[in-house]
Every structure is written in structure tokens, then in C-alpha cells.
Amino acid sequence: MARYLDVHPDNPQQRLLDQIADALRDDQLIAYPTDSGYALGCRLGNRDGRDRILRIRGLDDRHHFTLMCKDFAQLGQFVQVNNTAFRAIKAATPGPYTFILPATQEVPRRLMHPKKRTVGVRIPDHVFVQALLDTFGEPLLTSTLILPDETEPRSLGWEIKEELDHQVDVVVEAGETLAEPTTVIDWSEGYPEVVRVGAGDPSRFEAA
């Protein structure tokens, strides 16, 4: 059964943040709220966690995983960003955007797109996630919690606890969250292409 942790949305309790970070270090899989619905997350080196995310979401190996990063400095360690992308992404973050970019050697090969050698990255505008990333000290391997045959991410922790009780290890509750996925911008070819319109305003990239 999954542990259910109720975290304060504005002032996350450090004791609970430490418990969640320890669970991630122990290669556990968490369901947690972000600025665009719930997501599944685990440590980058957690091979089983990656496979569990694919199973829960009903996805294959071509799925673009995302690295949830604390800030732009951390993001820059894992993806190659040209000058134009640098300025545009920096201006749009933190926020509900996912950017697909060429991965650096810091990214394990199994987390990249098998043909494109790309990976998604994002910097969330969410108090709990920022506090967790600060406590954990590294990015989270993450994927929006959209279940098979559904189009929107889950937004209620108790509902996730009931439905995925034996498929995840920790479910975090931290106040209300929107049930709208991120806007996805593919910048892997050197220019922005909007591939999914979601919570983030896409117009700033459509005109780029």
C-alpha cells in the first residue's frame, strides 16, 4: 500500500520533504502534485521506476520522459541549449512548459528518445515541487499522470491513492492542482515547435 502524505501547500513541512526525498533515494515511485496536475516521479538512476511509469501510463519506449529541474542552472547540465532557446526558455520558466531538447552525456541513455537522443525538461512554478527538488538535490525523472484512455492528468491525491495504491509507493497531497498538462515545445531541431498546447501560453513560442 502507498503511503499518503499531506503536505502544507504554502509551507511544506521539512520533516515530510525529508521522508519523500529518502523514499526517492530508496528507489521508490511517487505520485505528486505540480503546477499542471499530478505526475509520477523517481530518481534518474531508478531503472525499475522508469519501467513502472511506462506500465502505469500504458506507454512504450518511445515515450519522451521529462527531467523536473529546480532551476535553469540544473536544467543546463542535462540538455544542449542554443542562445535563442536559452533566452526564450529562461523567460518562460518557472512555469507549466516542457521543452524537448538534445540530451547531454549526463542523461542515462535509457531515458532518452531512442532515435532522437532527446529528453524533456521543465522547471515548475510550484511551492511543494521546488521545496522537494531543493531537499532531494537532483532532478526527478517524471511523467504527467495521465492514465491509459484518459486525456487529462489526475488532480486529486485521494483518488490516486485509491486507484494506484499498489502501483506507487508514496502519494503526496499538497492543496489544489489544475488538471491541465504542460504545454510541450520541441526545440530539438534548433527552433521551437509547439507539439502540445496545455497550461502554458504557446503564443510566445509560435511567434519565435
pTM over 0.85? The answer is yes
Q: How many residues belong to the chain?
A: 208
Q: Output b/e per residue, 65-87; b: 16+ Cβ within 10 A.
A: bbbbbbeeebbbebbebeeebee
Determine how many CB atoms are found less than 10 A away from the CB of residue 191.
12
CA distance linking residue 44 with residue 138, whole number of Å: 9
Specify the fold of 3-206. Answer: DHBP synthase (3.90.870)
Residue 169 confidence (pLDDT) above 70: yes
Inter-residue contact 35 to 181 (CB < 8 Å):
no
Q: Kindly report the backbone phi and psi dihedral angles of residue 181, in degrees, each rounded to the nearest multiple of 5, phi listed first.
A: -70, 170
Could you give the CA distance from residue 12 to residue 132 in angstroms, rounded to a whole number?
A: 9
For residue 190, the 8-state DSSP code is: S
Cell 532515435, residue located: 115
CB-based contacts of 192, cutoff 8 Å, min separation 6: 85, 88, 185, 186, 205, 206, 208
pLDDT in tens, 106-115: 999 889 888 8
| pLDDT tens string 174-206 | 988 888 899 999 999 999 999 999 999 999 898
pLDDT of residue 176: 87
